[in-house]
Structure 1
Amino acid sequence: MKVLMFYELAEGGLAKAPAHFASHQARMREFHGRGVLLMAGPYGTPPVGALGVFTSRAAAEEFARDDPFMLNGVVGRCTIHDWNEDLA
């Protein structure tokens, strides 16, 4: 089982993203280096949100709690869901 974390941009969040991107990216690299963030990235054109794939709910919650995008109004909503991936 994996855990999916969905970010939805806040109103005006896209304009705020560049100022906080470096610290957000550093956090992603930290969690990826620990092996708990498998992949992440924005979706939509232009972006309307982002998706992260984590190894546990605890890791996803920890990431979101202190993510600069969450703390600085880039993200308006975060949801976390268990995912039973199937390679059929």
Structure 2
Amino acid sequence: MTNPAHYLLTYEYSADYLQRRDEFRAAHLKLAWEAVERGEILLAGAVGEPIDQALLVFTIDGPAIAEAFARNDPYVTNGLVTAWKVQKWHTVVGELASTPVR
């Protein structure tokens, strides 16, 4: 039995992301938690020391939902994200792998 596909949404943050995020964080988190409640986002969070990226792991059938999330995210629409991309993640190991291989 296979699980739904996984997609990674990768954000590249602006140099002033940490200084500017407070203004948009509540709206960003609301959007993200709504996606969790719909079963679309599995995990999400910032990456790096110092933080310069974010990864959002989606469990969805195709890239459209992750792309729409990015286009509507206040971090993107207000310039805190300088670049983003959605890629299919071909998971093969783990309980939640979409195509387990042993």
Which bracket does the TM-score occupy, shorter chain normalised?
over 0.9
- How many matched pairs? 88
Query: 4+ residue runs of structure 1 moved beyond 3 angstroms?
Result: none
Unaligned runs of 5+ in 2: 94-101
More helix by share: 1
Matched, 1:73 2:92: no
Unaligned runs of 5+ in 1: none
Q: Is the 8 A contact 1:16 1:73 kept in 2?
A: no
RMSD value, Cα: 1.1
Of structures 1 and 2, the one with the larger relative CO (CA 8 A, separation 6+) is 1
Structure with higher Rg: it is: 2
TM-score, normalisation: structure 2: 0.81
Q: Report the residue type matching 1:62 in the other structure.
A: A
TM-score, normalisation: structure 1: 0.93
Q: How does 1:1-88 map to 2 (within 5 A)?
A: 1-56=5-60, 57-87=63-93
Identity over aligned pairs, percent: 35
